[in-house]
Amino acid sequence: MSTTLEIKDLYVEVDSKEILKGLSLKIEHGEMAAIMGPNGSGKSTLASVLAGKEGYNIVNGTIKYLGNDLLKMSTEERASSGVFLAFQYPVEIPGVATSTFVRTALNAQRRNRGEDELDAMEFLKLARQKAKELEMSEDFFQRAVNVGFSGGEKKRAEVFQMSMLSPTLAILDETDSGLDIDALKIVAEGVNKLRDNKLSGIVITHYQRLLDYLKPDTIHILADGKIIKTGDKSLALLLEEKGYQGITGAN
C-alpha cells in the first residue's frame, strides 16, 4: 500500500456554512503536496478537519488514512498514529516547559501505540540531538510552550515538536506566515531534514516563496472548497504570475 491519505468528495460545514464542497485529494507515501489558495477557500478548514478539531460538521465524504477511517478516530488517536499539525498560530501554555510538553506528548503517543515510554535521560538525549539538527539552542527546553516566543521561534518550535514526534503525515498550516525570509529558510530547511520516504506532507501556503525551499512534489489549487487544479512546480510559478483569478478563470 503506498497511499498515505485519500480524501474523497468531502463536504464540511462550519456553523451551517458550507466551507468544503466536494474536495478530493490523494497523498502518496513520501509525497510532499502543497495546497495553495485564496483566503477563505477552505485551506485551514481542511487542516483542522484532518487533525480532528471539534466544531466541523462532516456532511459527506470519506478520509482514509493508512487504510483506516480517519473520521472515526479521536484527535489523540490521529496524533498517535502519526498525524501532526504544525499550527498557523501555535498556542501558549503558561507554566509548562517545552521539554515537559514534548515529553508528555511523545510518551502519550508511545503509550497509545503500546510502546515503552522514554525515561527522562533517553528523552533528553533525543531532544538534544534534534535541537542540534535543527540548529536550535537548548534554552527553549525550559521556556513555557510558546510563551513569549517570537513568530519565528514559534514556528521553529513547531518544527522541533514535529521532529521529536516523527509523524507519518505532517500538515504545515501556513507555517510561512509572519516569517521573514531568513526565518522562512531556517524553518524550511528544518522540514527538509525530516523528509524521507516515510514522511508525507501537506504544505498549506499563500505564497510561492516557501515552495522555493520546500520543493513539493505536487501542487494543488484550492478554491471555493475544492481542488480545482493539480500540477507540479510550474503551477506555482504560473500562479505567482497570473494570480488566483488567472488560474481559476474567475473574474
Partner 1 sequence: MAANTETISAVEKATKDYKYGFVTDIETEFAPKGLSEDIVKFISKKNDEPLWLLEWRLDAYRKWLKMNTEEPKWANIHFPKIDFQDAYYYAAPKSDADKPKSLDEIDPEILSTYNKLGIPIKEQEMLAGIVGSGNVAVDAVFDSVSVATTFKSKLSELGIIFCPISEAVKKHPDLVKKYLGSVVPQTDNFYAALNSAVYSDGSFVYIPEGVRCPMDLSTYFRINAAETGQFERTLIIADKGSYVSYLEGCTAPMRDENQLHAAVVELVALDDAEIKYSTVQNWYPGDENGKGGIYNFVTKRGACRGVNSKISWTQVETGSSITWKYPSVLLQGDNSIGEFYSVAISNKKQQADTGTKMIHIGKNTKSTIISKGISAGHGQQTYRGLVRMQAGADNATNFSQCDSLLIGKNCGGHTVPYIDSRNPTAEVAHEATTSKISDEQLFYVQQRGLNPEEAVALIVNGFAKEVLKKLPMEFAVEAQKLLGVSLEGSVG
Question: Contact positions toward partner 1, by CB under 8 A?
Answer: 51-55, 74-76, 78-80, 84-85, 87, 89-96, 101-102, 104-106, 108-109, 112, 144-145, 161, 165
| Closest to partner 1 by CB, 106 or 172 | 106
H or E element, residue 61: strand 57-65
Pick the closer one to partner 1 by CB: 199 or 236.
199
CB within 8 Å of 72: residues ≥ 6 apart: none
- Which residue, 23 or 102, has its beta carbon nearer to partner 1? 102
For the bound state, the minimum distance from the C-beta of residue 234 to partner 1, rounded and expressed in Å, comes to 34
Q: C-beta of 100: minimal distance to partner 1 in Å? A: 8
CB of 223 to partner 1, least distance (A): 26
DSSP state of 19: E
Minimum Å distance from CB 56 to partner 1?
A: 11
**Whose CA is closest to 248, among 223, 230, 225, 219?**
223
Of 105 and 237, the one with the shorter C-beta distance to partner 1 is: 105
Q: CB nearer to partner 1: give 54 or 182.
A: 54
Rounded to a whole number of angstroms, the minimum distance from the CB of residue 102 to partner 1 is 8
Which residues, other chains included, contact 182 with Cβ-Cβ below 8 Å and sequence gap of 6+?
none
CA distance 34 to 156: 19
Cα 182 → chain centroid: 20
- In Å, the largest CA–CA distance within the chain is 59
Which of 108, 124 has the CB closer to partner 1? 108
**Residue 84 CA: distances (Å) to CA of 16, 109, 191, 201, 248:** 27, 12, 13, 9, 30
Asked if residue 249 lies in contact with residue 229, where contact means CB atoms within 8 angstroms, the answer is: no
Instruction: Provide, rounded to whole angstroms, the least separation between the CB of residue 113 and partner 1.
Output: 9
Residue 106 DSSP class: H
User: Of 51, 54, 89, 50, which Cα lies nearest the Cα of 174?
Assistant: 89
